[in-house]
Amino acid sequence: MTSMSVLLKIQNLRTIINSPAGVVRAVDGVDLQIGRGEIVAVVGESGCGKSTMALSIMGLISSPDADVWADCLQLDGTELQTLSAEEKRRLRGRRISMVFQEPMSSLNPVLTVGEQVEEALLTHQRADKKTAGKKTIELLERVRIPSAAERLGDYPHQLSGGMQQRVMLAMALACEPDLLIADEPTTALDVTVQAQILQLLCELQNELGMAVLLITHDLGIVAEVANRVMVMYAGKLVEEAKVDSLFSRPLHPYTKGLLESRPELTGGQKRLHTISGAVADMWDLPTGCRFHPRCPQCMEHCQSQEPQVFVRGDATVRCWLYAQGVAP
């Protein structure tokens, strides 16, 4: 990826959370690049640090409960870590927006959906009330909310989960951001509504030319919409590849386990594959490779030495199996 095409560039992102139970390295040395107009998916089990990474990028992790820093955290060449609190607030929503996984928890229950979409326009575009009202209707129509003008006075609890998520999309897209972070945007929605939201997201991404960082644990969604995919485990990215390559030639044992765990629609009584053991305890991480207690290909030095990142074609993998290029 050339420097001109890179929109988001992250090097060695670390998020350390100070909890009553101890110190948690929720995000530990993540490198990430997203090109303009690209859809990049981050996948992994619940608790692996995907959402924490997104909140860290947005600058929504508060101190003194947590420390967030990186060697580089740039959006379109602007170093986000050097911005003041006010500059970050202006940037959020205008250049970079986020859709959260729980729309009912993210929307204000005492404000109408019209007021909440309008607020984004009044805050970031300095629009007058009349112009903002007209643009709000256009945004709700853009995200396929029927009879948009008549829904302005509705409160979030009067809308279905799918409609609430469409309102969240309208708010996020109010200023046509360069980057949209979508954190589990289809969680808790039924299958047909999930498909509608994904199709809408792809249409809007194509229409606006924005980049999307899609956080999910659903590999079906990844196969459907993403250009590249990054696999995360216990705060670290363990594999990165183009979607086709990852599904046809997974490299990391954890990635292979995730892919093998998918149900198959071939009939019969085939037992679902599972990854042995439990997700790593973030308060008491294993030494060496964090996946080694669950890895069927664990070697002796995996238990004591943290693996390096190895390049294999257009993919990268953090696994000692590839130190000598002899992995199966």
How many other C-beta atoms lie within 10 A of the C-beta of residue 312? 16
* CA 117 to each of CA 99, 133, 201, 214, 265: distance values in angstroms, whole numbers, following the listed order: 13, 9, 17, 22, 41
Give φ, ψ of 105 to 5 degrees.
-80, -20
28: pLDDT strictly greater than 80: yes
Is the pLDDT at 40 greater than 80? The verdict is yes
Cβ atoms of 205 and 39 within 8 Å: the answer is: yes
Instruction: Please write the tens of the pLDDT for every residue from 148-182.
Output: 999 999 999 999 989 999 999 999 998 889 999 99
Integer CA distances (angstroms), 202 to 33, 39, 58, 207, in order? 20, 9, 22, 8
Length of the chain: 328
What mean pLDDT is predicted for residues 248-264? Answer: 90
pTM for the complete prediction?
0.91
pLDDT digits (tens, 9 = 90+) for 266-299: 655 567 788 888 888 888 999 999 999 999 999 9
Per-residue pLDDT band at 139 (split at 50, 70, 90): very high
Lowest mean pLDDT among 75-84, 143-152, 179-188: 179-188
Whether 328 shows a pLDDT value over 60: the answer reads no
Question: What local confidence, expressed as pLDDT, does residue 278 receive?
Answer: 86
The percent of residues in the chain predicted with pLDDT above 90, rounded, is: 63
Report pLDDT for 90. Answer: 87
Predicted confidence band of residue 64 (pLDDT cuts 50, 70, 90):
confident
Placement of tokens 């729980």 in the chain:
102
**pLDDT-derived band at 3, boundaries 50, 70, 90:** low
Q: Give the separation between CA 69 and CA 121, rounded to whole angstroms.
A: 30
* Tens-digit pLDDT profile for residues 104-114: 888 999 999 99
Read off the pLDDT of residues 214-231 as tens digits, 9 standing for 90 and up.
999 888 889 989 999 999
Residue 58 sits at φ, ψ, to 5 deg, of -75, -15
Query: What DSSP string runs through 165-226?
Result: HHHHHHHHTTT--SEEEEESTTTT--HHHHHHHHHHHHHHHHHHT-EEEEEES-HHHHHHH-
CA angle at 176 for the pair 172 and 182, rounded to the nearest 5°: 40
The full DSSP string for 71-132 is: SEEEETTEEGGGS-HHHHHHHBTTTEEEE-S-HHHHS-TTS-HHHHHHHHHHHHS---HHHH
**What residue spans define the domains of the chain?**
6-95+179-189+212-265+272-322, 103-176
Handedness of CA 312, 205, 81, 49 (dihedral sign): negative
Whole-number percent of the chain with pLDDT over 70:
95
- What DSSP designation does 139 have? H
Question: Which fold is adopted by the domain 6-95+179-189+212-265+272-322?
Answer: Rossmann fold (3.40.50)
The average confidence (pLDDT) of the chain is 89
CA-to-CA distance for 293 and 198, rounded, in angstroms?
35
**What average pLDDT does range 21-26 have in this prediction?**
88
Distance CA 58, CA 76 (A): 14
Q: Give exposure, 28-46, as e/b (b: 16+ Cβ within 10 Å).
A: bbbbbbbbbbbbbbbbbbe
Q: Which residues, in sequence order, are bridge partners of residue 222?
A: none
Cα–Cα distances in angstroms (integers) from residue 238 to residues 156, 201, 228, 250, 289, in the given order: 38, 27, 14, 11, 10
Residue 4 pLDDT exceeds 60: no
Q: What is the C-alpha separation between 198 and 221, in angstroms, rounded?
A: 8
Asked if pLDDT for residue 132 goes beyond 60, the answer is: yes
pLDDT tier at 259, thresholds 50, 70, 90: very high
Does the pLDDT of residue 72 top 80, yes or no? Answer: yes
pLDDT at 266: 61
What is the side-by-side order of every strand in the sheet holding 96-99?
96-99, 179-183, 211-216, 39-43, 228-233, 236-242, 315-318, 309-312
Q: Give me the pLDDT at residue 1, please.
A: 62
Please give the residue that has the higher pLDDT: either 73 or 324: 73
- Residue 190, pLDDT score: 83
